[in-house]
Structure 1
Amino acid sequence: MSNPNSALRQRVGKEKNKPLVNGDKPEDSPVDAYLSDVQRKAPKEWDYKVALGIVTILAFATRFFGISHPNEVVFDEVHFGKFASYYLQRTYFFDVHPPFGKLLFALVGWLVGYDGHFLFDNIGESYITNNVPYVAFRALPALLGALTVVVVFLIMWESGYSLPACVLASGLVLFDNSHVGQTRLILLDATLVFFMSLSVLGYIRFYKQRHEPFGRKWWKWLLLTGFCMSCVISTKYVGTFTFVTIGCAVCIDLWDLLDINRREGALDLITFGKHFVARAVGLIIIPFFFYLFWFQVHFAILSRSGPGDDFMSPEFQETLSDNLLHQAALDVHYYDTITLRHKETKVYLHSHPDKYPLRYDDGRISSQGQQVTGYPFNDTNNQWQILPNDPIPDGSGVDRPVLNGDLIKLRHLVTNTILLTHDVASPYHPTNQEFTTVPLELAAGERHNDTLFEIRMEQGKKGVPFRSMSGQFKLIHHPSKVAMWTHTTPLPDWAFKQAEINGNKNAQQSSNIWYVEDIPSLPEDSPRRIKEVRKPKHLPFLIKYIELQRAMFYHNNALTASHPYATQPFHWPFLLRGVSFWTQESTKQQIYFLGNPIGYWIASALLAVFAGIVGADQLGLRRGVDALDRRTRSRLYNSTGFFFLCWAAHYFPFYLMGRQLFLHHYLPAHLASCLVTGALVEFIFNVDPVIDQQTSSVIAAKKDKVGGKLSERTKRTFQTASDRLKGQSLVATWTATIVILAVVLYGFIFFFPLTYGWPGLTPAQVNARKWLGYDLHFAK
Structure 2
Amino acid sequence: MTSSDPKLRRRRADPLDAGSSSLIDISEEKKKGASYTGPQGPSPISHRAALAIVTVLACITTFYKIWHPAEVVFDEVHFGKFAGFYLKRTYFFDVHPPLAKLMLAAQGYLLGYDGHFDFGNIGDNYIENNVPYIGLRALPATLNVLCVVLIYGIMRESGYAVLTCALSAGMYVLDNSAVAQNRLIMLDSMLVFYMLSTVYSYIRFRKLRYQEFTRSWWFWLVTTGVMMAMTLSVKLVGLFVVATIGICVLVDLWELLDIRRGLPMNHFVKHFNARAIALIIVPVFVYMFWFYIHFAILDQSGPGDTFMSSAFQETLKNSAIKMKSLDIHYGDEILIHHPGTDVYLHSHTTKYPLRYDDGRISSQGQQVTGIKEADANCYWRVKATKDIPEEKRTAVKHNDVIQLEHVATGTNLLTHDVASPLMATNEEVTTVEQGKRYNETLFRVVLDDHNNGNTWSTHMKSFKLMHMDTKVAIWTRDKALPEWGMLQQDVNGNKNTQERSNFWVATEIKGLNATEINMNKKKDIKTMSFFKKFFELQGRMLRHNSGLTKPHPYQSAPITWPFLIRGISYWSKNDTREQIYMTGNVFGWWLSIGGVAVYAGVMLADTLARRRGVEPIDEPLRHRFISSAGMFLILWLAHYLPFFAMGRSLFLHHYLPAATCNYLLLGAVFQFMFIDGVDSPVSALEGTTNTKYRRFNPLLMVAHPSKYSYLAAFLILAGQAGMFVFLSPLTYGSPGMTVEQVIQHKLLNTWDLQFAK
Structure 2-normalised TM-score? 0.90
CA distance in 2, matches of 1:709, 1:126: 63
For 2:561, the equivalent position in structure 1 comes to 572
Secondary structure class of the residue paired with 1:605: helix
For 1:704, the equivalent position in structure 2 comes to none
For 1:747, the equivalent position in structure 2 comes to 723
Identity among equivalent positions (%) equals: 47
For 1:169, the equivalent position in structure 2 comes to 168
CA distance in 2, matches of 1:66, 1:757: 9
Offset of residue 695 of structure 1: 10
Give the stretch that moved more between structures: 457-466 or 327-336: 457-466
For 1:4, the equivalent position in structure 2 comes to none
CA distance in 2, matches of 1:695, 1:436: 83
For 2:24, the equivalent position in structure 1 comes to 24
**8 A Cα contact 2:678 2:706, kept in partner:** no
For 1:273, the equivalent position in structure 2 comes to 269
Secondary structure class of the residue paired with 1:643: helix
For 1:5, the equivalent position in structure 2 comes to none
Aligned mate of 2:446, from 456, 467, 473? 456
**Runs ≥4 residues deviating over 4 A:** 12-17, 33-41, 461-464, 524-530, 687-696
Give deviations 1:344-395, integer Å, cap 9, x for gaps.
23322222223333332333333333323223322222222222214667xx
CA distance in 1, matches of 2:516, 2:127: 51
Secondary structure class of the residue paired with 1:640: helix
Offset of residue 244 of structure 1: 1.6
CA distance in 1, matches of 2:681, 2:522: 84
Aligned mate of 1:538, from 527, 530, 541? 527
User: Unaligned regions of 5+ residues in structure 1, if any?
Assistant: 1-11, 700-707
CA distance in 1, matches of 2:17, 2:678: 17
For 1:648, the equivalent position in structure 2 comes to 637
Residue 203 in structure 1 maps to residue 202 in structure 2: yes
Give deviations 1:314-368, integer Å, cap 9, x for gaps.
2222222222221122233322332222232332222222333333233333333
For 2:395, the equivalent position in structure 1 comes to 401
Give deviations 1:389-441, integer Å, cap 9, x for gaps.
14667xx2453333333332222233222223333333333343333333223
CA distance in 2, matches of 1:709, 1:208: 16
Offset of residue 649 of structure 1: 1.4
CA distance in 2, matches of 1:572, 1:373: 41
How has the CA–CA distance of structure 1 residues 760 and 433 changed in structure 2, closer, same or farther, with 3 Å as cutoff? same
Offset of residue 690 of structure 1: 5.0
For 1:348, the equivalent position in structure 2 comes to 344
Offset of residue 277 of structure 1: 2.3
Counterpart residue type for residue 316 of structure 2: L
How has the CA–CA distance of structure 1 residues 622 and 709 changed in structure 2, closer, same or farther, with 3 Å as cutoff? closer
For 1:437, the equivalent position in structure 2 comes to 431
CA distance in 2, matches of 1:622, 1:38: 36
Secondary structure class of the residue paired with 1:378: coil
How has the CA–CA distance of structure 1 residues 469 and 562 changed in structure 2, closer, same or farther, with 3 Å as cutoff? closer
Residue 598 in structure 1 maps to residue 587 in structure 2: yes
CA distance in 2, matches of 1:406, 1:39: 75
Residue 502 in structure 1 maps to residue 502 in structure 2: no
User: Where does 1:383-394 land on structure 2 (aligned, <5 Å)?
Assistant: 383-390=379-386
How has the CA–CA distance of structure 1 residues 592 and 415 changed in structure 2, closer, same or farther, with 3 Å as cutoff? closer
CA distance in 2, matches of 1:401, 1:694: 86
For 2:738, the equivalent position in structure 1 comes to 762
How has the CA–CA distance of structure 1 residues 41 and 468 changed in structure 2, closer, same or farther, with 3 Å as cutoff? closer
**8 A Cα contact 1:628 1:689, kept in partner:** no
Offset of residue 691 of structure 1: 5.8
CA distance in 2, matches of 1:686, 1:618: 22
How has the CA–CA distance of structure 1 residues 397 and 497 changed in structure 2, closer, same or farther, with 3 Å as cutoff? farther
CA distance in 2, matches of 1:683, 1:526: 72
Offset of residue 299 of structure 1: 1.8
Give deviations 1:225-264, integer Å, cap 9, x for gaps.
11111111111122111112111111111111111112xx
Aligned mate of 1:772, from 735, 748, 755? 748
For 2:59, the equivalent position in structure 1 comes to 60
Offset of residue 513 of structure 1: 2.0
CA distance in 1, matches of 2:400, 2:40: 81
Counterpart residue type for residue 750 of structure 1: F
For 2:6, the equivalent position in structure 1 comes to none
For 1:485, the equivalent position in structure 2 comes to 475
User: Where does 1:353-372 land on structure 2 (aligned, <5 Å)?
Assistant: 353-372=349-368
Counterpart residue type for residue 660 of structure 1: S
CA distance in 2, matches of 1:44, 1:632: 20
CA distance in 2, matches of 1:461, 1:497: 39
**8 A Cα contact 1:304 1:320, kept in partner:** yes
Counterpart residue type for residue 22 of structure 1: S
Provide the aligned C-alpha RMSD in A. Answer: 3.3
Offset of residue 78 of structure 1: 1.1
CA distance in 1, matches of 2:695, 2:343: 86
CA distance in 2, matches of 1:363, 1:119: 50
Offset of residue 739 of structure 1: 2.4
CA distance in 2, matches of 1:64, 1:38: 35
CA distance in 1, matches of 2:663, 2:505: 53
Secondary structure class of the residue paired with 2:534: helix
Larger Rg computed on CA atoms: 1
How has the CA–CA distance of structure 1 residues 79 and 260 changed in structure 2, closer, same or farther, with 3 Å as cutoff? same
**8 A Cα contact 2:21 2:624, kept in partner:** yes
Give the stretch that moved more between structures: 498-507 or 131-140: 498-507
For 2:97, the equivalent position in structure 1 comes to 98
Secondary structure class of the residue paired with 1:555: helix
How has the CA–CA distance of structure 1 residues 44 and 484 changed in structure 2, closer, same or farther, with 3 Å as cutoff? same
**8 A Cα contact 2:19 2:695, kept in partner:** no
Give the stretch that moved more between structures: 595-604 or 209-218: 595-604
Counterpart residue type for residue 760 of structure 1: G
Give the stretch that moved more between structures: 482-491 or 354-363: 354-363
For 1:234, the equivalent position in structure 2 comes to 233
Residue 304 in structure 1 maps to residue 300 in structure 2: yes
Offset of residue 759 of structure 1: 4.8
How has the CA–CA distance of structure 1 residues 448 and 565 changed in structure 2, closer, same or farther, with 3 Å as cutoff? closer
User: Unaligned regions of 5+ residues in structure 2, if any?
Assistant: 1-11, 688-693
How has the CA–CA distance of structure 1 residues 209 and 376 changed in structure 2, closer, same or farther, with 3 Å as cutoff? same
Counterpart residue type for residue 673 of structure 2: I
CA distance in 2, matches of 1:226, 1:586: 50
